Amino acid sequence: MKSRSALIAVGSAGLLLVAGATTATVARAADLPPGAPPGVCSADAEYGPPLASPTITAARLFGGQAFLEGPVWIADHGYLLMSDMAAATGPERVQPSRILRYTPGSVAVETAIADSGSNGLALSPDGGSVVAATHDRRSISRYQLADSSRETIAGDFLGAAFNSPNDVTIRSDGVAYFTDPDFQRGGRADAMQGRTSVFRISGGTVSLVDDSLKEPNGIALSPDGGTLYVGAYGENKIYSYSVRADGSTGERTQFASIAGPDGATIDCAGNVYWASGTDGLVHVFSPDGAEFGTIAAGAGSTNVAFGGDDRKTLFVTSGRTGDFGLYSVRLGVPGYPY
């Protein structure tokens, strides 16, 4: 693993709005902010197995979309947002995208933001905005839920443009981590000189976590905030990093291996759910890396998120380009909204 200690300011807007931290389900060091979004996981709750059997199947809710990614559950309003990416256009071959809104029980999918430029989505700690990996501007952006206004959080590292930020996760204190593969860079200049990396945003600065991974993709934090998970799509591996109280990361170890690890989420027991773009399954692991089983959801699963009133409904974006759909299945443990 390569590392760099240099930092760069990302603008006067600062980082993310921060709500009061809640106690995570998993025991943690007193000075370590939890990784679970505030209010999601109950303190000292006990959970059973996440899956009713080693292989279960999710039901298709709708289809016919271009390429769905980044689902995020907005509990305050009872709907799910997700990115829908179209085919690349223009001389720079950049994929346009929009954010769709799905309300359970409805028969229609609505456009929430027509030109979002987004891929992976996360919910800010205060619940008032969606933080997006936005490949259109090669940035991390914030969209306010109230009026859909957009603000850039991070736009470069040491003056160099990112490749095409793909996915993002946020600690309860507002520290954010994101992946930067080159999938949506298109014909734009390679300012990263062939490196595909993982970055951290903290206190208005961007710092490097790791620039030695091949196409880092999905990213998630454990409920206790002590572990960062990253899927290296080009390596067919999922890695974990220890996380310190200040948000900096330590040693990298291999957590699991699946074909084409794409997006991920975590439940309140610390179990890890990883979508595979290769076998189309969602692979479910215990916190120590043992595989519980898989969830089938069409072909080419891209991402996952928990939602519903009790956050025990797992939503899965999956399909083939031009006919992507949203799937859902009820599980035994509540989990993260993205």
271 is in an annotated binding site: no
Beta-bridge partner residues of 238: 231, 256
Domain annotation covers residue 279: no
Number of domains in the chain: 1
Checking if the pLDDT of 1 tops 70, the result is no
Q: What is the pLDDT of residues 203-231, one digit of tens each?
A: 889 999 999 999 999 999 999 999 999 99
Domain annotation covers residue 105: yes
- Comparing 43-52, 235-244, 318-327, the range with the smallest average pLDDT is 43-52
- Cα separation, 68 vs 84, in Å, equals 5
Distances (CA, A) of 55 to 49, 258, 281: 13, 16, 10
Q: Which of 136, 180, 262, 267 is catalytic?
A: 262
Q: What is the pLDDT of residues 140-178, one digit of tens each?
A: 999 999 999 999 999 999 999 999 999 999 999 999 999
Structure tokens at 315: 């939503």
Q: Residue 205's CB: how many other CB atoms inside 10 A?
A: 14
Q: What is the mean pLDDT of the chain?
A: 90
Domain annotation covers residue 15: yes
Q: Reply yes or no on whether 262 is catalytic.
A: yes
92 is in an annotated binding site: no
Q: What is the pLDDT of residues 68-105, one digit of tens each?
A: 999 999 999 999 999 999 999 888 999 999 999 999 99
Checking if the pLDDT of 285 tops 70, the result is yes
Instruction: State the number of CA atoms in the 13 A half-sphere of 73 facing the CB.
Output: 27
- Comparing 38-52, 98-112, 264-278, the range with the smallest average pLDDT is 38-52
Q: Residue 103's CB: how many other CB atoms inside 10 A?
A: 14
pLDDT level of residue 2 (50, 70, 90 thresholds): very low
Domain annotation covers residue 296: no
Q: What is the pLDDT of residues 327-338, one digit of tens each?
A: 999 999 999 999
Q: Given this model, what pLDDT does residue 31 score?
A: 59
- The domain containing residue 215 runs over which residues? 8-49+69-271
Q: At 70, which amino acid appears?
A: G
Task: Write the CB contacts of 243 (distance below 8 Å, at least 6 apart in sequence).
Answer: 32, 35, 221, 225, 226, 227, 228, 249, 250
Domain annotation covers residue 233: yes
Domain annotation covers residue 324: no
Sheet holding 216-221, edge to edge: 216-221, 227-232, 237-243, 249-256
Task: Write the CB contacts of 170 (distance below 8 Å, at least 6 apart in sequence).
Answer: 16, 37, 122, 123, 124, 125, 131, 176, 177
Q: Are 119 and 165 in contact (CB under 8 A)?
A: yes
Structure tokens at 46: 């006990």
Q: Are 143 and 136 in contact (CB under 8 A)?
A: no
Q: What is the pLDDT of residues 19-33, one digit of tens each?
A: 333 333 333 444 568
- Cα separation, 19 vs 67, in Å, equals 32
Q: What is the pLDDT of residues 290-307, one digit of tens each?
A: 999 999 998 999 999 999
Domain annotation covers residue 96: yes
147 is in an annotated binding site: no
Share of the chain above pLDDT 90, in %: 84
Domain annotation covers residue 90: yes
CATH number at residue 229: 2.120.10.30
167 is in an annotated binding site: no
